[in-house]
Amino acid sequence: MSKAEKDAQQETIPADIAAMSFEAALKALDEIVARLEGGRVDLEESIALYGRGALLKRHCEAKLKAAEEKIEKIVVGADGQAAGTQPFKAD
């Protein structure tokens, strides 16, 4: 994803969500799912909760992607010693 795409994506996420840590956003998302699954929310509130949940999900995914980009895989040389690092690539 290019910087322009990242910037555009971040623009659509409200400031209160963008300021959340991964853990806080995931907890908020879990709470929304529990409320929706409980079936005691009226239609309008369900729609609003679903929309907020989608934004929280996207924020969590962006946080995970950013963390993944920071992880480096240690490369072991033929002698069994660490020979350096290379970018991590998820399988």
Collect the ranges in the chain with pLDDT lower than 50. 10
pLDDT at site 3: 57
* Cα–Cα dist 43/46, whole Å: 5
CB within 8 A of 84, min separation 6: which ones? 74, 75
pLDDT at site 12: 86
pLDDT at site 45: 97
- Tell me if 36 sits within 8 A of 50, measured CB to CB: yes
pLDDT > 90 in the chain, percent: 57
pLDDT at site 34: 97
pLDDT at site 2: 56
Q: Is 75 helix (H, G, I), strand (E, B) or coil?
A: strand
